[in-house]
Amino acid sequence: MGRRASWLGALVAAVTGAVLVYAASAALNPYLLSIIAFVGINVILAVSLNITNGFTGLFSLGHPAFMTIGGYVTAILILSPARKSHLLPDLPSWIAHRQWPFLASLLAGGLVATLVAVIVGFPVLRLRGHYLAVATLGLIFIIQGLAINLDGYTRGALGLNGLPELTNLWWIYGWMLLTLYVCWKLKHSSLGRTMLAIRENELAAACLGVRITRTRILAFALGAFFAGVAGGLWAHLVTLVTPSSFSFLFAFQLVVMVVLGGSGSITGAALAAAALTVATEALHPVEEALNLFGASQLLLAVAVLLVLIYRPKGLFGMAEPDLLAWIGKSPGRQPTHTGLKRQTEV
Amino acid sequence: MKTILAKVMAAAVGLLAVAPAAEAADPIKIVALYNLSAGGLASIDGPSLNGAKLKAKEINDAGGLLGGRTIEVTAIDTKNDLKDAATGAKRAVSMDGIVAGVGHSDTTFALASAPLFQDKGLPFVTSGATSPDLPDMVGGEMFLACFGDDVQAHAMAEYAYKTLGVHNIVIWTDNAMDYTKGLSKYFQDRFTQLGGKVLLNDIYMTDDKDFSALVSRLKANPDAQAVFASSGPDTAGIIIKQIREAGIKLPILGGDGYDTDLVSTVPGPDLSDDVYFTTHAYVGLDTGVANTFRTSYQKAYGNPPENAFAALGYDALGLVADAIKRAGSTDPAAVTKALNATTAYPAVTGDIAFKNGSRVPSKPVAIMYVDHAKVNLKSTVTP
Confidence of residue A294 (pLDDT cuts 50, 70, 90): low
pLDDT at B341 over 80: yes
DSSP B73-95: EEEEE-TT-HHHHHHHHHHHHTS
Residues of chain B contacting A, Cβ within 8 Å: 1, 3-4, 37, 82-83, 86-87, 90-91, 94, 108, 111-112, 114-116, 119, 136-138, 175-178, 181, 205-206
Q: What confidence score (pLDDT) does residue B199 get?
A: 96
Predicted TM-score of the model (pTM) = 0.81
Total residue count of chain B as it appears in this document: 383
The 3-class secondary structure across A209-236, one letter per residue, is: CCCHHHHHHHHHHHHHHHHHHHHHHHHH
| B90–A157 CB contact, under 8 Å | no
Which is nearest to B332 in space by CA: B13, B138, B100?
Answer: B100
Q: Report which DSSP code applies to B70.
A: P
pLDDT at A338 over 50: no
Residues B78 and A229: their CA atoms lie apart, in Å, by 27
Of B364 and B285, more confident? B364
Domain containing A113 equals 2-344
Q: What confidence score (pLDDT) does residue A339 get?
A: 43
| B108–A25 CB contact, under 8 Å | no
| Interface confidence: ipTM more than 0.85 | no
pLDDT at A346 over 50: no
Q: What is the dihedral of CA A239, A243, A249, A251, to 10 degrees?
A: 80
| A159–B82 CB contact, under 8 Å | yes
Confidence of residue A298 (pLDDT cuts 50, 70, 90): confident
Q: pLDDT tens-digit profile of A30-62?
A: 778 888 999 999 999 999 999 999 999 889 999
Burial (CB count <10 Å: 0-12, 13-18, 19+), residue B211: buried
- Within 8 A of B87 by CB-CB distance, chain A residues are 31, 34, 238
| B115–A29 CB contact, under 8 Å | no
B29 contact partners, CB below 8 Å, separation of at least 6:
B72, B74, B95, B96, B97, B98, B99
* Dihedral sign of CA atoms A73, A74, A77, A78 in order: negative
Of A23 and A85, more confident? A23
| A31–B175 CB contact, under 8 Å | no
Of A161 and B332, more confident? B332
Q: What confidence score (pLDDT) does residue A335 get?
A: 44
Burial (CB count <10 Å: 0-12, 13-18, 19+), residue B127: buried
Residues A78 and B196: their CA atoms lie apart, in Å, by 42
pLDDT at A342 over 70: no
DSSP A255-321: HHHHHHH-TT-HHHHHHHHHHHHHHHHHHHHHHHHHT-TTHHHHHHHHHHHHHHHH-TTTTTTT---
- Within 8 A of A30 by CB-CB distance, chain B residues are 4, 90-91, 94
Nearest CB to B83 within list A158, A168, A238: A238
Residues B228 and A295: their CA atoms lie apart, in Å, by 40
Q: What confidence score (pLDDT) does residue B323 get?
A: 96
Asked if residue B108 lies in contact with residue A155, where contact means CB atoms within 8 angstroms, the answer is no
Residues A209 and B75: their CA atoms lie apart, in Å, by 64
| Lowest-pLDDT choice from A6-20, B11-25, B35-49, B64-78 | B11-25
Q: pLDDT tens-digit profile of B92-103?
A: 888 889 999 999
- Within 8 A of A242 by CB-CB distance, chain B residues are 82
| B137–A86 CB contact, under 8 Å | yes
Q: Minimal Cα distance from A235: which residue of B?
A: B83
| B90–A25 CB contact, under 8 Å | no
Total beta-carbon pairs less than 8 A apart between chain A and chain B: 62
Q: What is the mean pLDDT of residues A229-252?
A: 91
| A157–B94 CB contact, under 8 Å | no
Residues A85 and A179: their CA atoms lie apart, in Å, by 35
Q: What confidence score (pLDDT) does residue B87 get?
A: 84
Residue B198 backbone phi and psi in degrees, to 5: -95, 115
> What share of chain B in percent tops pLDDT 90?
75
Residues B138 and B116: their CA atoms lie apart, in Å, by 9
Nearest CB to B176 within list A26, A157, A288: A157
Burial (CB count <10 Å: 0-12, 13-18, 19+), residue B8: buried
Q: What is the mean pLDDT of residues B52-63?
A: 95
Confidence of residue B6 (pLDDT cuts 50, 70, 90): low
- β-strand partners of B143: B125
Q: What confidence score (pLDDT) does residue A323 get?
A: 67
- Buried b vs exposed e over A82-95: b needs ≥16 C-beta within 10 Å? ebbeebbeebeeeb
Confidence of residue A344 (pLDDT cuts 50, 70, 90): very low
Nearest CB to A239 within list B116, B137, B177: B116
Q: Could you give the 3-state DSSP secondary structure of residue B364?
A: coil
- Within 8 A of B138 by CB-CB distance, chain A residues are 162
Q: Report which DSSP code applies to B352.
A: B
Q: Minimal Cα distance from B205: which residue of A?
A: A157
pLDDT at B160 over 70: yes
Task: State which of A262-266, A298-302, A339-343, B14-18 shows the largest mean pLDDT.
Answer: A262-266
Asked if residue A107 lies in contact with residue A229, where contact means CB atoms within 8 angstroms, the answer is yes
- Buried b vs exposed e over A148-175: b needs ≥16 C-beta within 10 Å? beebebbbbbbbbbbbebbbbbebbbeb
Q: What confidence score (pLDDT) does residue A301 get?
A: 80
Give the gap in angstroms from C-alpha B30 to the nearest C-alpha of chain A.
Answer: 18
Going along chain B from its start, the domains and CATH numbers come out as 2-148+285-364 (3.40.50.2300), 150-280+366-381 (3.40.50.2300)
Q: What is the mean pLDDT of residues A12-40?
A: 88
Q: Minimal Cα distance from A169: which residue of B?
A: B1
Q: What confidence score (pLDDT) does residue A318 get?
A: 80
Nearest CB to A30 within list B90, B108, B175: B90
Q: Minimal Cα distance from B117: which residue of A?
A: A162
Give the gap in angstroms from C-alpha B341 to the nearest C-alpha of chain A.
Answer: 26
Helices A131-149 and A248-261 meet at what angle, rounded to 10? 140
Confidence of residue B84 (pLDDT cuts 50, 70, 90): confident
Query: Angle CA(B274)–CA(B198)–CA(B195) in degrees, nearest 5?
Result: 95
Q: Minimal Cα distance from B82: which residue of A?
A: A240
| Lowest-pLDDT choice from A79-93, A282-296, B123-137, B248-262 | A282-296
* Dihedral sign of CA atoms B110, B115, B117, B122 in order: positive
- Buried b vs exposed e over B189-201: b needs ≥16 C-beta within 10 Å? ebbeeeebebbbe
| B136–A86 CB contact, under 8 Å | yes
Inter-CA distances, A228 with A62, A234, B248, B381, Å? 11, 10, 48, 51
DSSP B161-219: IIIS---EEEEEEETT-HHHHHHHHHHHHHHHHTT-EEEEEEEE-TT----HHHHHHHH
Nearest CB to B115 within list A34, A162, A288: A162
| A34–B111 CB contact, under 8 Å | no
pLDDT at A127 over 90: no
Q: pLDDT tens-digit profile of B8-44?
A: 555 544 444 444 444 456 899 999 999 988 788 999 9
Q: What confidence score (pLDDT) does residue B303 get?
A: 93
Q: Report which DSSP code applies to B329.
A: S
- Within 8 A of A148 by CB-CB distance, chain B residues are 176, 205
Give the gap in angstroms from C-alpha B51 to the nearest C-alpha of chain A.
Answer: 24
- Within 8 A of B136 by CB-CB distance, chain A residues are 86
Confidence of residue A340 (pLDDT cuts 50, 70, 90): very low
| Lowest-pLDDT choice from A24-28, A292-296, B70-74, B221-225 | A292-296
Residues B45 and B100: their CA atoms lie apart, in Å, by 18
Q: Could you give the 3-state DSSP secondary structure of residue B328?
A: coil
Asked if residue B30 lies in contact with residue A53, where contact means CB atoms within 8 angstroms, the answer is no
pLDDT at A341 over 70: no
Q: Report which DSSP code applies to A51.
A: I
Q: How, if at all, do strands B168-174 and B226-230 pair?
A: parallel
Based on its alpha-carbon atoms, the radius of gyration of chain A, rounded to whole angstroms, reads 21
Residues B314 and B57: their CA atoms lie apart, in Å, by 11
Which is nearest to A270 in space by CA: A153, A179, A182, A204?
Answer: A179
pLDDT at A334 over 60: no
Report the mean per-residue pLDDT for chain B.
Answer: 90
Count of domains for chain A: 1
Q: pLDDT tens-digit profile of B189-210?
A: 999 999 999 999 999 998 899 9
